[in-house]
Structure 1
Amino acid sequence: MTQTFRLAGLLRLRQLEQDEAAGDLAAANARVAETADRQSKARTDLETTGSEPTGPETLAAIAASRAAARTLLADLEALERTRRESAEQAQAAFSTARARSIGLEKLEAKHTVREAAADLRAEQLFLDELTSSARHAARGAGR
């Protein structure tokens, strides 16, 4: 007769916490990647901006465009630092959640092994009893 793992509810809770932390980590990593892509695009745009002024108006426009692009890059770098910090915090939260559930998972595995061994012992005892009863019945019929 198999007993249920007494800490199964707690284990499920810990696994849900771990899954939530994994989702938060994935979202944080996606935000970091999105910011890196935006930075790359801004750098590419800055590098490919035409630099051949045809007059004072275009020279002023090019200068303003480059200044705006540099400001955007600085903002994106600050955003990237913030998002990387958030991703590091999410990684720490995931690691903590994983550590909290792994001990319970090991206990559950040991419980499962013990229960399987107990089931096998009970089955073996039952088979031994059947064999013993059959021998006893055969001896009684032989007399």
Structure 2
Amino acid sequence: MNRQFSLAGLLRLRQTQQDAAASGLARANSRTASLRSRRATAREELAESAGAAGSSASLLAIAASRASAQSMLAELDALAASAEADAEQARAEYTEAKRRAVGLEKLENRHGAAFEASALRAEQGVLDEIASSAWHRSSAQPAPAARKAGS
């Protein structure tokens, strides 16, 4: 049995793909978290800006400001939804890449175990042969008492 796993190159490729997918997932999760934070901050600032209108001009300015803030919040919501979709896509890609790599890793582990078992069997065969040869040599020699009687 060959010591080297025949699919080692493919396994490295799959692991590289898994690493790339994990990196993409981390970026997507970071972007999603950043957008959530920006959205929460914008909502807090909008809630805190309850100014009292002293004149009609300031009332119009407050209304325009709130409309602008609402528009910004809507854009942030759309970006957050897009980021969530991207994160879900990245999660699916990572899961698929991991699934492909895990299958090959299991094959590599089985190959390693089979190789070790084969090596142990071969070693045991050599040890058995050595022991058998030693036994045959010792049984072929006459006993020490028989040698003295013959001399």
Using the size of structure 1 for normalisation, the TM-score is 0.90
- Report the Cα offset of residue 138 of structure 1: 2.5
Residue 98 of structure 2: aligned partner: 98
Give distance in 2, aligned partners of 1:15 and 1:3.
20
Give distance in 2, aligned partners of 1:126 and 1:51.
92
Identity within the alignment, %? 46
The list of structure 1 runs, each at least 4 consecutive aligned residues, that deviate by more than 4 angstroms after superposition, is none
Greater C-alpha Rg: 2
Q: CA RMSD in A?
A: 1.7
String of CA shifts for 1:81-130, please: whole Å, max 9, x gaps: 11111111111211221222222111111111101111111121122122
Residue 68 of structure 1: aligned partner: 68
Residue 137 of structure 1: aligned partner: 137
Using the size of structure 2 for normalisation, the TM-score is 0.86
Residue 11 of structure 2: aligned partner: 11
Partner amino acid, structure 2, of 1:72:
M
SS of equivalent to 2:45: helix
Partner amino acid, structure 2, of 1:8:
A
Matched-pair contact (CA < 8 Å) for 1:25–1:94: yes
- Report the Cα offset of residue 2 of structure 1: 5.3
Residue 78 of structure 1: aligned partner: 78
- Report the Cα offset of residue 45 of structure 1: 0.4
- Give structure 1 stretches of 5+ with no counterpart: none
- Report the Cα offset of residue 68 of structure 1: 1.3
Give distance in 1, aligned partners of 2:48 and 2:137.
97
- Give structure 2 stretches of 5+ with no counterpart: 144-151
Residues 117-126 or 58-67, more deviating: 58-67
Q: Quick one: structure 1 residues 141 and 57, their matched pair in 2 at CA, closer, same or farther if it must change by over 3 Å?
A: farther
